[in-house]
Amino acid sequence: MYKEINPAVFACVSFPFLFGVMFGDMGHGFLLFVAGLLLVLFNEKLKGTAMEGAGQARYLIFLMGIFAFYNGLIYNECFAIPLDIFGSCYSAVPFYSVGINSSARYNRTSFDCVYPIGVDPVWALSTNYLTFTNNMKMKIAVILGVS
């Protein structure tokens, strides 16, 4: 015996978590969760079928679904559509000026307003929403993965 720590337990939890950080979608995460749950519950019935190989990864798929759903809640996304679960700290007020057909100005509703969890949904109205969310997801995944 080498008396070393087995890294398999850490890897079995950290991989699905990092997957959830990069994927981060409540809708798709829920579908993965349900698929993993069905694989866990009906594993014995899958023996000898074409789905037997998926039964070996049942707990991995289950955890990937849980973490993807959780991070989708943090990112406020469901099937790649931004959600407005808790409201926003900003209100979008349309305004018109010379040279601009239509645009919006974002007024803070209150200076002691703190968004309770995740990303404020007002980002969905910005022109750089996709760039912002993709950069945020990948940077968080790299920081967590390295640490």
**Among candidates 70, 116, 69, which has minimal Cα distance to 89?**
116
Percent of the chain clearing pLDDT 90 (strictly above): 22
| Residue 68 resides in a domain | yes
Contacts of 94 (CB under 8 A, 6+ apart): 102, 103, 104, 105
| Residue 75 resides in a domain | yes
Encoded amino acid at 84, one letter:
D
| Residue 23 resides in a domain | yes
| Residue 112 resides in a domain | no
Report d(CA 140, CA 144) in Å as an integer: 6
| Residue 94 resides in a domain | no
| Residue 133 resides in a domain | yes
Tens digit of pLDDT for each residue in 37-96? 999 999 898 888 888 888 888 999 999 999 999 999 888 888 888 887 777 777 766 655
Report d(CA 84, CA 67) in Å as an integer: 20
| Residue 140 resides in a domain | yes
Check whether 102 has a pLDDT greater than 80.
no
pLDDT attached to residue 123: 75
pLDDT band at 100 (very low <50, low <70, confident <90, very high): low
| Residue 77 resides in a domain | yes
* Domain extent for 75: 8-82+119-146
Report d(CA 119, CA 110) in Å as an integer: 17
> Based on the structure, what is the number of domains in the chain?
1
pTM: 0.77
